[in-house]
Structure 1
């Protein structure tokens, strides 16, 4: 070990697999030590095992009584919608027209986009989210503003310019050719610059012509290590509209499949109104469903079918979907995820929900071994959770009888106050003030 070693003592939680399918997937050290150097994990094990391996003079940061886990990974969120979170509407399509489109029109101003990006990133970090798949707007300025701020903070983020050439206000429309050209320019500027990744981002099928979707597919083929992100089968009115716009496609998902937009690193938000043929195709192409429970409940879109997804081994991950989603907190998102499962007759264990927010998110992004766990060599993105962060959570934590009960209490009762500190690449990028 080198002289720049840092060590953190606390309970440690991470995963080597999905606890729903592997009883040995959860890695838990009641009195653990996380050792990092040069922004990466050196070791994570019991305190007694690792203490003697530390170089002389190493400071051990004492977080006993708290839980250290990998930083949360949010696989679907809209930074331009920060200012319309919690806006009332009767459903998805009215919400887009009343709030989203007018708000996104302001992001042609890079100064405005930068100010919102600063607040958005601070809010992610305050809630323990260290990586997110982020939608910008149709304006390249919005992408440059976001990546500029994320790169300055050395965060591992994914983002892309929305592609949208129809069925939206004129001030938000591009063309198939301009969207592909602008996206390629942004890919060359930002993709794999530091810890930044680019996502090819057709908003959703109703706002993209067939020509635009095909050009997006060509880009995805030309740049196979980029991401793809879009929406599918969120709302019954939306599904009906897509059928009218693309009558030759077997399903909503098939619209994207025909254009070459299903592959590894393809992220599909919502996936509520899919059939088994769609789910099987998701599994076969390694395309990922990004489940957005707070948004789906808020907009009345429907309930994600966990049983159907698991039956066909469809990849799933967890997302906030701010601003349709009502919280930046992945803990609050777990709270709603559990309730969605119960309404469908499914019990989601807390350990599986924490897996979905950490290693599961990394796997969805094809970043296992880079983020999402404390495996040796992973980047040291981690958070410190406080089971005593509120009087109620403290009282409930005192009576828990197992790790599962403690994690479940954190998921049901925790929020941004539960995040004591957030670290990115070994650097503290948020610490909760004692008086908050």
Structure 2
């Protein structure tokens, strides 16, 4: 990816003709540590219905409206949005914010756009590192809804906080157009989300949520843009259709290029665990599926060091009262960074995940997607062509392999569907 294109991804300035081109490669961009302001406690009874882990983006722009399109998982009342200046180096002033239902493109369903408030005020200023929840909106939001969150950034400086690889089209324009339900002003198309990292509801029937902690495969790279075909999206549809499951919310905490142990493309999983996973409301289970980027980076990562990182994630999640489902690392032979040494580490790590008993349940993605003719390679039917990332069919096969019972957070959960 060229420097100019990478800059466009970081700014989210993706035009109609350039969107597909820019999304031809993962947005692996250097990250920086977020400011250390505390994450606010989640609202009582709230459950996360959508999330996208925050990272450092390009230089922020003021006097700008974003119309951010996200898909809910669990339905409920009292919708709130969580806005973030986690990576900001100066104040972020959100002059107005609205939430409505998307009809098509940037156009909203008439009468659905409602003003969001923060402690009763129509605007909010976030200090560097600060994260804030809006007040709840009255009314009910259905599961699997296309929600449009419109934020007017009046003033900001330095790097923006956002999620680089949305694989969903959002929109932007100059000035404050947040209250408008029509789409004429929103002429810029974006491939990233800005300043929004979670949406919550007071969930129907006491439902809970699972957070999928991962890298580009969980982030959805190579799934079809604007179709919600990441494997966590398929999982959300399975959970929504299940009469028995009480876990209905799915929060995607995948970041392309992410590692368990080291910063690089975003903070490490260990470094972002509290903000991106443990602070989200209503979570019952953490789904841990990371490690391939640590293994293929050729930085001396061993099975012992990687599994020690896993153990810390499990221990911290257990301390927060959550269960952890661990998934095996998928094959990647044919990818440019594959070698026999890394393959040996992958095999040892997967054996530890399967047999150590540290995680509360295991989903064996390795066995689901590997070729029966070469267990070090993806099954061609599931391979998008780069030999690391699954295609839409592979994403669905992964989600179909997850035991819904295991997500119920029973330490003795059955691994059969």
Normalising by structure 2, we get a TM-score of: 0.31
- Which one has the largest radius of gyration? 1
Normalising by structure 1, we get a TM-score of: 0.30
Q: If each structure's strand is expressed as a fraction of its own residues, which one has the higher value?
A: 2
Q: If each structure's helix is expressed as a fraction of its own residues, which one has the higher value?
A: 1
